[in-house]
Amino acid sequence: MMLFKTKILKNISILHIILFSIAINAQKNKIDGVAVVVGKNVVLNSDIEKFKKEVELRSEGKINFSDCEMLEELMKQKLLAHHAIIDSLSVSQGEIDKGVQRSIAFFTKEYGSEQKVVEAYGFNDIEDLRKELEKVKKESELIRLEEQKITENIDVTPEEVRVFFNGLKEKGELPEIPAAVELAQLVLNAEPTSEEEQRVVKELTEIREEIINGSSFSMKAIINSDDPSVAQNKGNLGLIDKETPFIKEFKEAAFSLDEGQISEPIKTQFGYHIIKLHKIRGKSREVSHILLQPKISSEKLNKTKKDIEKIVSDVKKGILTFEEAATKFSEDESTKFSGGKLINEYTGEPQFELTNMAPDLFGRISELNEGEMTDVFYDETRSGEKMYKVILVRQKTKTHKADIVEDYVRMQQFALEKKKEEAVDKWLKEKIFETYIKLNSDHKECNFKRNWKKKESK
């Protein structure tokens, strides 16, 4: 099972870079020893311990690695990052900003608020965390780009997949494929009335006038804004540029303002905003906003629910298929044109492993059979959009040993990953000799798979 152990190690190592490097760097008052220097990159002793704990957590104690294995994987990551710089690979600031925003959104969802995230990782404020995340994201992207450069021309043939599968079968190492489902959804949004939208625009206009006449923007934001982060940032969003992953309409309005100017109310998918431009700093803008979200009446919610229940009833009667209903009626633009098919955002594939599924979704579909639908249920996005949904289980597979026919795509991915891993290993053997590597004496007794001590022996 070495291949799959390596796969787990690789995946967790990436997660470690994104999550635990932050916690390590946040502990600024802690005296920490250097385990190894790779090029210009450093691995701390605490890195190894944090990595080990993360492996134990993510594998639920089923996979055990020694400290030396932990260190070797971290050295590999640092070597890749070091040579990405040498190879002049670069990550755009826009790409870094998008990654940072995704990470903050992930953390906020996990902890409940940005303030709780800041407290959990020991930072002074969200901007302090954001700066650290930028460093972490840049390194992880450099690692990804260097591995991509090394393996860009590698592919596998059907014959190679067959040989790979048979080799695992002969050694009794066929992986267990976890239970998984393919899902489709139908969504109807509950939209506010035009009268309610007009009320919100009028209220924002009045707030804008009061600020122009001397009221505090930050105080008005705290009192009025529907932005959930307003308690921490008082409406201040910090610096944004044209690459920052903000809504298009918001950025266009922000970049049309002069310093000190406040926009008229603008509409985005989050609701209605007024924006104040504080400073122009090169290509960036420091802005604050106040967000008001139109309220949706209980009558409108009830009507939306009845409408989707009528569609579901027609599907159950065979008047139209679920795919036809989703294409015709669903208001989720990302899925309606594929018959409602959901794609796993972490893998890019239509399969969702039951063991890795969000608890609320798992609770709705785990007991359903293939072809069955959930009851109609209410949902709400982080941006405040309200909707009713129904989810169809398109396909469902049980936990089973890998099969060359049923799981061909997955085995193809495993075979390709093994071939790429072999290419990276070959690259590592060459680059270790070219790169300055200084191991702490505490780790010189490790029996590494690769000759990391070679540089020191010269």
Residues 395-416 as b/e (b if ≥16 CB within 10 A, e otherwise) read ebbeeeebeeeebeebbbebbb
Mean pLDDT calculated for residue range 411-437? 94
Q: What is the pLDDT of residue 62?
A: 63
pLDDT band with cut points at 50, 70 and 90 for residue 60: low
**Is 153 found in the same domain as 62?**
yes
Q: What is the pLDDT of residue 24?
A: 43
**Is 332 found in the same domain as 451?**
no
Q: Residue 388 is part of which domain span?
A: 177-191+297-400
Report pLDDT digits (tens) over 345-383: 777 789 899 988 888 899 999 999 999 999 999 998 766
What are the residues facing 188 on neighbouring strands? 388
Q: What is the pLDDT of residue 246?
A: 76
**Is 210 found in the same domain as 158?**
no
Mean pLDDT calculated for residue range 48-63? 70
CB neighbours (10 Å) of residue 41? Answer: 18
Mean pLDDT calculated for residue range 163-192? 94
Q: What is the pLDDT of residue 28?
A: 42
Q: What is the pLDDT of residue 59?
A: 62
Mean pLDDT calculated for residue range 225-251? 83
pLDDT at 81 over 60: yes
**Is 203 found in the same domain as 183?**
no
Report pLDDT digits (tens) over 438-454: 998 888 889 998 999 87
**Is 171 found in the same domain as 96?**
yes
**Is 136 found in the same domain as 87?**
yes
**Is 306 found in the same domain as 182?**
yes
CB neighbours (10 Å) of residue 30? Answer: 9
Q: What is the pLDDT of residue 15?
A: 42
Reduced to 3 states (helix: H, G, I; strand: E, B; else coil), residue 17 is helix
Reduced to 3 states (helix: H, G, I; strand: E, B; else coil), residue 451 is coil
pLDDT band with cut points at 50, 70 and 90 for residue 137: confident
Residues contacting residue 142 through CB under 8 Å, at least 6 positions apart = 80, 81, 84, 85, 89, 91
Q: To the nearest 10°, the Cα dihedral for 133, 109, 43, 26? A: 70
Report pLDDT digits (tens) over 104-136: 777 776 677 777 778 777 788 888 888 888 888
CB neighbours (10 Å) of residue 101? Answer: 16
Provide the CATH number for the domain around residue 301. Answer: 3.10.50.40
**Is 136 found in the same domain as 35?**
yes
% pLDDT > 90, the chain:
55
Out of 292, 320, 353, a domain closes at 292
**Is 301 found in the same domain as 282?**
no
Out of 260, 276, 292, a domain closes at 292
Residue pair 440/34 in contact (Cβ under 8 Å)? The answer is yes
Chain-centroid distance, C-alpha 139: 16
Residue pair 183/358 in contact (Cβ under 8 Å)? The answer is no
The rounded distance, in Å, linking the Cα atoms of 50 and 54 is 6
pLDDT at 19 over 60: no
**Is 386 found in the same domain as 250?**
no
**Is 412 found in the same domain as 394?**
no
Count of domains for the chain:
3
Residue (of 417, 358, 405, 419) closest to 177 by Cα position = 405
Out of 262, 292, 322, a domain closes at 292
pLDDT at 47 over 90: no
Provide the CATH number for the domain around residue 155. Answer: 1.10.4030.10
Report pLDDT digits (tens) over 193-207: 899 999 999 999 999
**Is 428 found in the same domain as 380?**
no
Q: What is the pLDDT of residue 14?
A: 44
